[in-house]
Amino acid sequence: MKKTIFTFTLLIAVITNAQQTLLTPDNIDEVIKELTLEEKARLLVGRYDNGKGVPGAAGVIQDIERFGLPPVALTDGPAGVRIAPTRPGDTATYYATGFPIGTALACTWNTDLVEEIGAAIGNEVLEYGCDVLLAPGINIHRSPLCGRDFEYFSEDPVLAGNIAAAYVNGVQSNGVGTSVKHFAVNSQETNRFEVDEVVSQRALREIYLKPFQIALSKSNPWTIMSSYNRLNGTWTQSSRELLTDILRDEWGYDGLIMTDWTDGRPSAERVYAGNSLLMPGYAEQETDIIESVRNGSLSMEDVDRQVRHVLDLILKTPHYKGYSFSNKPDLKAHAALTRSAAPEGMVLLENRDSALPIVNPGKVALFGRTSYDFMAGGLGSGDVNKAYIVNLSDGLTNAGFQVDGRLKNYYEAQRNLREKTKEIAGEWSADFEPVLSDRNIARLAEDNDVAVITFGRQAGEWADRHIDNDFNISNDERALLERVTEAFHALGKKVIVVLNTGGVMETASWKHIPDAILLAWQPGQEAGNAVADVISGVAFPSGKLSMTFPLTVSDVPANNNFPTGSGSDFGDARRNHDYTLHDEDIYVGYRYFTSFDKPVSYPFGYGLSYTEFEYGKPVVRATRDGFEASIDVKNTGNAPGKEVVQLYVGAPAGEMEKPVFELKGFAKTAALQPGESQTLRFVVNSMDLASFNEDSSQWQTEAGNYRLMFGASANDIRATASFNQKKPLTKTVGNVLQPNRQLNRLTRK
């Protein structure tokens, strides 16, 4: 009897004790002590869907009730929240707003705007009951053929890093988290789980890690996602050098590191490397962690270190704080935001004789199948389930244009036919462009005031892009453009091309044909309205390219070392499949084209406007840590507009070879009316002028005269100045992540 009472009392004590150990910010150590090994493993291994997350979201961190640890819901981005729009047995809908793709955001060069969009996306994360948004993606645009470039920002680390920080700050202003991904060098989709990206330490530091480093210095993302690929021989997820030596110890990151959604890799080594959360997570991985601790191959300290990051994160989440979400974010307000923001990322590539804007909307012949099937965003985990996409045909109609009905019917009939016979909507390949007879085109030219032709391109996760009928325009598209232009020009009427793409396209061979080319990107769910706003002059385009448009794909320095369907040798390990050599080294994007004096179709930073800008004389002032520069920009044209000024810096000749110049700062004016001007300011730290010297594992800023170039693009420098760095500066870091294969590094020597 006595024994029963004792056991009963003990049981009560255990229960009471358990109830008292609910996690609070002050008792993390205690909770870690009390968690069993099984519970710790449970925290380190997520689930794709255990019924406790948000339907259609990407995953959850598992809950542990006795410590008051709620499930934590992770959902994809970056163009908005990706959850299921409907739920079984529920008549409500859960559509999220489709915002412009990452590339379009970067082309705004407007960190305030990106922060505002981030804040709206974060609000949807919160109100749909999620805790962490798996975005932004900030991998470098190494090749225009990467299938996921549309999610990523730029070929330049300074632009990508600053846009990322703005995005993170915006989303997290709602008290929800972000995951900056994919760390690192996830620059191709082909064989993405296995491919070994072989990169020099210098290119790694200066190009591929830099955007992450900048983003972390200007924002505090709750999480970072380690990528799928290998880097210099080791999976990034298993690389302690990358995740612990660099990210944690060198950069001081103390948030949570989660793996990208990977199956079947050793768990213990990934926890040891620095991941706190294995996603999407399987029961066997928990067992693996438990057994590894028991057999001594993983230490409890390593487990506890990562568990602490999970607990730290949980404490910040809306779920932990008991936020009562509405499932009703203000979708109308967000739709208005996406519409007004999209033109800021659209790039006006050509505008002969002020073909745009068309201020008196008239009759428009709208060509190209994509005009009637406009694409708001890309495919894969970055695809948002939005309630609608405004087609260009509807957008132009809303703007007061009369869209030719016969042509509209023709394209819609072609689509229906195509859907029935071959492909599904939205996934038509570019080699199919319905062919119209010359007679029909001539009649359309007679009956309409202007022609608009849309060329569309879709891409996404899993696959890299093709060269033919994808990067290059197809024969059908070229024929359409030529024949329509001939017919309309014969009657003195203009032809506008709209590019509805997530990635770069070849333009050099055809850009002289139409009167204007508007690169609209994939501008979010209000696409058609936003494009029509720009065409009609209700809004003006103010985007500039965040990447170079080369003359041909073979001009891209990475081209020989990127999966293009050719160039792979089928030996034991296939080049560009099992391993990819970054022979172009630091010469990515404009760093290559400008340093090697290669012509391009449109340079990095390029974009026309409906007006003209004049740059004043720059003023430079040395500061304690570097310099501050300012320049006046004046709208000297006849229409309102915004100008992006890029600050490129050329280093003095020194020990290391360097690109002729590199972007070190940028700024965008507010909307300037004709005659109005604004002073733009740039702050640069001398340490940001450093290059990475592999021989000494040092960042080095050499002393001497630095040339400051204020550009309207990388090929259009409008004003120059200089800055004298009095003393050399160095910072020594760990000699880690050495390449495991021989590289034939591009050099100017």
Catalytic residue set = 260
For residue 675, the 8-state DSSP code is T
Q: Measured from the CB of residue 71, what is the shortest distance to ligand BGC in angstroms?
A: 16
Tokens of 746: 């591009």
Three-state DSSP at 721 gives strand
Tokens of 189: 């989709």
Our CB check for ligand BGC shows the closer of 255 and 739 to be 255
Is 505 within 8 Å of 473 (Cβ atoms)? yes
76 touches ligand BGC (CB under 6 A): yes
260 touches ligand BGC (CB under 6 A): yes
Strand residues in 478-625 grouped as ranges (E)? 494-500, 516-519, 579-581, 613-615, 619-622
Tokens of 366: 């709208």
Q: Measured from the CB of residue 596, what is the shortest distance to ligand BGC in angstroms?
A: 33
58 touches ligand BGC (CB under 6 A): yes
Rounded Cα–Cα distance for residues 398 and 376 (Å): 18
Per CB under 6 A, contacts with ligand BGC among 304-343 are none
For residue 63, the 8-state DSSP code is P
Rounded Cα–Cα distance for residues 271 and 488 (Å): 64
Residue type, 469: N
The single residue listed with the structure tokens 């760095």 is 725
Q: Measured from the CB of residue 381, what is the shortest distance to ligand BGC in angstroms?
A: 4
For residue 465, the 8-state DSSP code is P
Question: Which member of 64, 133, 134, 164 binds ligand BGC (CB under 6 A)?
Answer: 134
Q: Measured from the CB of residue 313, what is the shortest distance to ligand BGC in angstroms?
A: 16
Hey, what long-range contacts does 300-304 have (CB within 8 A, 24 or more apart)?
A: 300/37, 302/271, 302/272, 303/37, 303/40, 303/41, 303/44, 303/271, 304/32, 304/40
Is 58 within 8 Å of 134 (Cβ atoms)? yes
Three-state DSSP at 725 gives strand
Rounded Cα–Cα distance for residues 669 and 634 (Å): 10
How many CA atoms lie within 13 Å of 154's alpha carbon, on the beta-carbon side?
Answer: 28
What single string gives the DSSP state of each residue in 100-162? Answer: PPHHHHHTTT-HHHHHHHHHHHHHHHHHTT--EEE--B------TT-TTGGGS--SSHHHHHH
What DSSP element (H or E) covers 747?
A: none
End-to-end CA distance of the chain: 91
Distances (CA, A) of 184 to 194, 225, 279, 356, 584: 14, 9, 17, 41, 17
Q: Which residues contact 487 (CB under 8 A, 6 or more apart)?
A: 438, 441, 442, 444, 445
Rounded Cα–Cα distance for residues 628 and 251 (Å): 25
Q: Which residues contact 733 (CB under 8 A, 6 or more apart)?
A: 246, 250, 697, 698, 699
Per CB under 6 A, contacts with ligand BGC among 378-397 are 381
What DSSP element (H or E) covers 332?
A: helix 331-345
Quick one: how far is CA 232 from the chain centroid? 23
Question: Which member of 42, 181, 386, 718 binds ligand BGC (CB under 6 A)?
Answer: 181
Best CA proximity match to 638, nearest among 606, 615, 613, 607: 613
167 touches ligand BGC (CB under 6 A): no
Question: Which member of 235, 261, 320, 592 binds ligand BGC (CB under 6 A)?
Answer: 261
Q: Which residues contact 515 (CB under 8 A, 6 or more apart)?
A: 350, 351, 352, 353, 355, 494, 495, 496
For residue 214, the 8-state DSSP code is H
CA torsion through residues 92, 95, 96, 97, sign:
negative
Q: List 297's β-bridge partners, or say none.
A: none
Best CA proximity match to 746, nearest among 584, 558, 556: 584
Kindly report the CA angle at 381 between 376 and 383, in degrees rounded to 5? 15
Three-state DSSP at 43 gives helix
What single string gives the DSSP state of each residue in 278-299? Answer: BSS--HHHHHHHHHHHHTTSS-
Our CB check for ligand BGC shows the closer of 361 and 460 to be 460
Our CB check for ligand BGC shows the closer of 227 and 691 to be 227
256-259/234-235 β-pairing: unpaired
In this structure, the chain runs to a length of: 749
Q: How many binding residues for ligand BGC (CB under 6 A)?
A: 7
Residues at the contact surface with ligand BGC, assessed by CB under 6 A: 58, 76, 134, 181, 260-261, 381
